[in-house]
Amino acid sequence: MVAYVKVMSKKEVSAVLASPAATASNAHQNQIIARLAICCGLRVSEIARLDCSDVELGDRPHLRVVGKGGRRRVVPLHWDRGTLAAIAAWKELRISGPLVCSLAKSSYGKRLSRRNIQRRWTTALKRAGVTRRVSIHCGRHTFCTFALLGGKSLIAVRDAAGHANVSTTSHYLHLVEWVADLSIGDLFDV
């Protein structure tokens, strides 16, 4: 029996990650938040702590993340070209300070709270037409599941997700097998 883990469908992910209007800064930032959860597997607290200096765009583009218990990890950005391009463009706009921050004139540049990030996630889902209730942590589950479905190794996904033990990551293998056995092509397009 597989423990219940909510994962977004590819259709939902595609809708959420669709490009925002060029003039809508909040929508653009909401997409960055969604990409950090869905395509990088970051927890909401990790997104809140992320600074522009934590984004490395060199030969091996990655994020330097401080996770649970202060453990540091490297999250590859090259696994998804769209996310790499979106974060590179966003970093150019931000230059320094928190990667996601208040865009209001009165508090511009202040770090967003976890609650504010969660609200922005919900807004991104609503604008994308996702009608079911999906938490930002579901983005993390989606990342792990689709990374394994996409052929990434258990160890690579464990390291990117920051799981302390490979047995945590192995739970997603059972989910991947379950999803592959479903034979409902439109659920995840596998």
Q: Say how far apart CA 42 and CA 160 lie, in whole Å.
A: 9
- What is the average pLDDT across 85-103? 89
8: helix, strand or coil: coil
- Domain 10-188 coded CATH 3.40.718.10: no
Query: For the chain, what are the domain ranges?
Result: 10-188
Confidence band of 25 (pLDDT split at 50, 70, 90): confident
* Share above pLDDT 90 across residues of the chain, in percent, rounded to a whole number: 43
- Residue 61 reports pLDDT greater than 90: yes
Q: Catalytic amino acids?
A: 43, 68, 137, 140, 163, 172
Alpha-helical (H) ranges within 51-189 are: 81-94, 114-128, 136-149, 154-161, 166-181, 185-188
Q: What is the pLDDT of residue 119?
A: 94
